[in-house]
Amino acid sequence: MDTIKRAPPQTSFCTAAVQWFTVYRQLFAWIVAFNLAVAIVAATESWPWAHTHRVQFAVANTLVSVLARNEVFMRVLYTVLVKVVTVGTKDGLGTIWAPTFLRNLITNFLLHCGGVHSGCGIGSLIWLIYAAVYLATDHILFTVWVKIFGYALMALITLSCLTAIPSLRFKYHNFFEHGHRYIGWLSLVVMMVFIILLYGGPHYNWRDFLGSYWLWLSLITVVLVALPWCCVARVPVVAEIPVSKRITLLKFSGYVRTGLYGRISRGPLSEWHVFGCFSQDPLQGSHYMICSAVGDFTKALAERPPEYLYTRLIKFPGFSYCHRMYHSGVAICTGAAIGVFISLFSNQGLTNFSLIWVGSKFEATYGQSVVDMLRRGCPPDRLTLYDTSVNGRPNLVDLAADAYYKQKAEVVFCVSNLVGTRSIVHGCRRQGIPAFGPVWDA
């Protein structure tokens, strides 16, 4: 591949600040600022309605926070937004009515919905602190049990937020996953009891209480949290391990559409792991996951191949689902991250995306099956296999940019490790190339 020589752009302080203040952080900041501002207004009694509905604000924030992480809702949201943008097109053919900037905006928003989850979680905590202060100052209206459950709810939400601090989440991920999950479940139980005690007491009309929107918002939140867990199943799996034992190719029954991800686990209540899903042909009725042996769970898959795994039957969309909004693009990945992009070529016959796969000794490392599937689905003129054992480590930004300009593409999608993904995204964007990659926010 011919390379276009470019002077590497210098990263100024302003550029670094813009890169740091991602859409995730923007959503988080705006939501927290809004809740804080409304709480301050309510505390000054400038808006009596907000003051009397402090618990309802907490419940509403909790509901939105759960929605932003709910697999069913996110699949509906992705599907609706992509369908609206691509109305009038079929199989990538036809003119997409939405301008590129709008499609990029939608892709960016969908990628960073975690900012809504975090922001509304803090928003809920703000209103619970507000309610707790009011509980402490009123010794007539509220019973002891109302106060106990109110303080308990505030403490649990505080703990849940603390477990999600990024530095702790990355360093102690299993602790974060278990803590966030079980504290969250307990919080929902305490919240329901608190609301019943607070608004369902003898001085309230039970008919009005059962018809109140905050009770139903709470129940909807509980249902949304429970729904994915109702779809957990123990399923048979066939594991194929190449000679290198650096990855495990897992085969499951059931066809999966392009751009969807799945969760798997050794046990229903242990840690869950997310991997991209791909299918070769709808008629085969099966799908695959590529799991890189980099952690305890994935190394165990290669050392002790499972015959059964737990999975959630509901598959959810990831950023590669957004490829439907673009006529052409470049997909670049390293190593086992090919599992995210292989679905673009293995079951849709897409020819409007180019693929650059950077790895070492592809057949030996990732298995002949994976390489064959990729070559069958991706036209040779759109496929670049960059073998680092032969050519050394490449400049990923230059590879992506060269392919982008050569193809006259609309977008670059990239998946690598955390540092590599950010390097490609920021490097491309500094050159004016719209680039997107996964967000490590869970």
Pair 371, 276 in one domain: no
Pair 38, 173 in one domain: yes
Q: pLDDT digit of tens for each residue in the chain (442 aa)?
A: 444 444 455 566 677 777 778 899 999 999 999 999 999 999 998 899 998 899 999 999 999 999 999 999 999 999 999 999 988 776 555 678 899 999 999 999 999 999 999 999 999 999 999 999 988 887 666 788 889 999 999 999 999 999 999 888 888 888 899 999 999 999 999 999 998 888 766 666 777 777 788 889 999 999 999 999 999 999 999 999 988 888 999 999 999 988 999 999 999 988 899 999 998 877 778 999 999 988 889 999 999 999 999 999 999 998 889 999 999 999 999 999 998 898 888 655 556 899 999 999 999 999 888 999 888 888 888 999 999 999 999 999 999 999 999 999 999 999 999 899 999 999 999 999 999 999 876 5
For residue 18, the one-letter residue type is: V
Pair 120, 208 in one domain: yes
Q: Which of 160, 329, 361, 343 is nearest to 247 (CA)?
A: 361
Pair 261, 210 in one domain: no
Is there a domain that residue 14 lies in?
no
Distance between CA atoms of residues 208 and 287, nearest Å: 50
Distance between CA atoms of residues 412 and 403, nearest Å: 9
pLDDT for residue 7 = 46
Q: Which of 85, 99, 24, 107 is nearest to 321 (CA)?
A: 107
DSSP 93: B
- For residue 295, give both structure tokens: 């952690």
Distance between CA atoms of residues 342 and 348, nearest Å: 10
Q: Which of 67, 177, 157 is nearest to 114 (CA)?
A: 67
Which structural domain, as residue segments, surrounds residue 142?
23-68+113-230
Pair 61, 49 in one domain: yes
Pair 262, 379 in one domain: no
R_g of the chain computed on alpha carbons: 24
Give the CATH number, domain containing residue 396. Answer: 3.40.50.80
Angle between helices 71-85 and 213-230 in degrees, nearest 10: 90
Q: What sign does the CA torsion over 386, 388, 391, 393 have? A: positive
Is there a domain that residue 237 lies in?
yes
pLDDT for residue 106 = 96
Q: What sign does the CA torsion over 337, 343, 349, 351 have? A: negative
pLDDT for residue 214 = 82
Alpha carbon distances (Å) from 242 to 56, 266, 319, 337: 54, 21, 28, 16
Q: Are 355 and 382 in contact (CB under 8 A)?
A: yes
The residue whose two tokens read 């990263």 is 11
Distance between CA atoms of residues 127 and 133, nearest Å: 10
Distance between CA atoms of residues 186 and 176, nearest Å: 15
Beta bridge partners of 311: 233, 264
pLDDT for residue 12 = 67
Q: How many domains in the chain? A: 3
Pair 156, 258 in one domain: no
User: In terms of residues, how long is the chain?
Assistant: 442
Residue that finishes a domain, picked among 317, 345, 378: 317
Is there a domain that residue 6 lies in?
no
Pair 30, 140 in one domain: yes
Pair 54, 161 in one domain: yes
- For residue 285, give both structure tokens: 């009725």
Beta bridge partners of 40: none
Q: Are 268 and 232 in contact (CB under 8 A)?
A: yes
Is there a domain that residue 125 lies in?
yes
Coil, helix or strand at residue 286: strand
Is there a domain that residue 74 lies in?
no
Is there a domain that residue 265 lies in?
yes
Residue that finishes a domain, picked among 230, 249, 265: 230
- For residue 362, give both structure tokens: 């592809």
2 Cβ contact list (under 8 Å, min separation 6): 402
Residue that finishes a domain, picked among 184, 210, 230: 230
Pair 308, 214 in one domain: no
Alpha carbon distances (Å) from 238 to 247, 250, 326, 341, 373: 14, 6, 34, 21, 17
Pair 162, 226 in one domain: yes
Give the CATH number, domain containing residue 288. Answer: 2.40.30.10
Is there a domain that residue 88 lies in?
no
pLDDT for residue 206 = 72
